[in-house]
Structure 1
Amino acid sequence: MLEVREVTKTYGRTTAVDELSVTIHPGRVTGFLGPNGAGKTTTMRLLLGLERPDAGKALVNGRPYRALARPLHEVGALLDAGAVHPGRTARAHLGWLAAAADLKGTRISQVLELTGLTAVAGRRVGGFSLGMRQRLGLAAALLADPRILILDEPVNGLDPEGVRWIRDLLRGLAAEGRTVLVSSHLISEMALTADHLVVIGRGRLLADTPLTALGDGPLEDAYLRLTEQSVEYRAGDR
């Protein structure tokens, strides 16, 4: 389970996350939505210990990420598909992650197959398309078979077949009882993927609701109603 308890995070005079409280439960895909600059990525970085809150707590299974004994076994994350050394092959990139997590080499082959990268495992990542990097990032997130996944824009750069593949994969992982938190700007895709929605604007919670509770109309219309007062940002907002 993921918990954000009255978290505030500021950068200079900008408040990126403002007394935000939300719990992300297992067994469902939770879509994390909000306008540009709403604080989604900052919230994910707080959960992963990449940022420290100025107030409140960001917890993974009841503990700060930094306190987890085997973090890769508990939570897998994809925040930036480009954060891979371009000179490494896909297999080598997963290899050093596996070594850090004390995993067997057979797991590397499994996630390469799962993400459709077996045929290009020996190629250097610098030659990968954005969609292939996204698949590699997802392979890394799944490497230690974690029960929690935090994914920031995972379908970015994927073709329609790849988008559908990720949709089916995420729903399958949630059906296994895992906690899946996924942000996206593709509202129509969230309508097909998510069971539950968390919507924030200007760092504050706007909605925490099952998808079905938003009514029978287009999700995009409901989303725009929720966020209509939260779409103007100062320079420097995240």
Structure 2
Amino acid sequence: MIELRELTKRYGGRAAVDGLSVRVQPGAVTGFLGPNGSGKSTTMRMILGLDAPDHGEALIDGVRYSDLHWPLRTVGMLLDAGAFHPGRSARAHLTALAASNDIPGSRVEQVLRVVGLSEAATRRAGTYSLGMRQRLGVAVALLGDPGVLLLDEPVNGLDPEGIRWIRDLLRGLAAEGRTVFVSSHLIAEMALTADRLVVIGRGRLLAETTVAELAAGDDSLEDAFFRLTSRETDYRGMGAS
């Protein structure tokens, strides 16, 4: 489980995340939605210890990410699909990460098959298309067979077949009892993928509910989202998203 307790982060006089308290439960895909500049990326970075909160805390299975002994075996993450050395092959990149977290080398070949990169595994990752880089990022997230997954815009750069693939993958992982937390700006895709939703605006919690409950009374989830966030969009000083 991911638990946020009064999580707060300020940049100058602006609160990027403002007293956010949320529980992301296992066994479901939870979509993380909000307008541009609402604090989604900052929240994910604080969960992963990349940014320090000014107040509150983010816990994964009751502990901070920085206190995990083998982090990749507990949490899989996709924040930046370009986080690899462009001159290194996908197989070499995954092998190095596996060794750093005491993950068997056989797992590298497993995740390459899962993401459809086996035939391209020896190519330099810098030659990959955006969609292939996204698949490599997903492979990194799955490498340690983690119980918790955090993915920021995982369908970015994927074609329609790839989008369906990631949708089915995430739902399958949640069905295995894992915690799956997915940030996205594609509301229609979240309507097809997510079971639950966390919606924020200007760093504050607007809704923590199911897809069906949020969309009830509106023509679509997109309509419900725009109704909920229409007063929470602020494009001034958008240094953090």
Give the C-alpha shift of residue 232 in structure 1.
1.8
Which ranges in structure 1 are unaligned for 5 or more consecutive residues? none
Tell me the equivalent position of 2:56: 56
Tell me the equivalent position of 1:184: 184
Tell me the equivalent position of 1:235: 237
Tell me the equivalent position of 2:4: 4
Structural mapping, 1:53-202, within 5 Å: 53-202=53-202
Give the C-alpha shift of residue 37 in structure 1.
0.5
CA distance in 2, matches of 1:204, 1:133: 32
CA distance in 1, matches of 2:9, 2:147: 27
Which ranges in structure 2 are unaligned for 5 or more consecutive residues? none
Q: Deviations along 1:142-179, whole A, 9 cap, x unmatched? A: 00100000000000000000000000000000000000
CA distance in 2, matches of 1:233, 1:10: 16
Q: Percent identical across equivalent pairs?
A: 66
Work out whether 1:219 is the aligned partner of 2:214: no
Give the C-alpha shift of residue 235 in structure 1.
2.2
Alignment RMSD (CA, Å) = 0.8
Please, what TM-score do these two structures have when normalized by structure 1?
0.98
Q: Which runs of 4+ in 1 moved over 6 A?
A: none
Tell me the equivalent position of 1:43: 43
Q: Deviations along 1:13-42, whole A, 9 cap, x unmatched? A: 221100110010000000000001100010
Write the letter of the residue equivalent to 2:234.
E
CA distance in 2, matches of 1:38, 1:232: 8
Q: Secondary structure at the match of 1:66?
A: helix
CA distance in 2, matches of 1:46, 1:160: 31
Write the letter of the residue equivalent to 2:233.
V
Give the C-alpha shift of residue 105 in structure 1.
1.1
Give the C-alpha shift of residue 83 in structure 1.
1.4
CA distance in 2, matches of 1:108, 1:18: 39
Q: Is the 8 A contact 1:14 1:236 kept in 2?
A: no
Instruction: Count residues with an aligned counterpart.
Output: 238
CA distance in 2, matches of 1:106, 1:83: 22
CA distance in 1, matches of 2:2, 2:42: 15
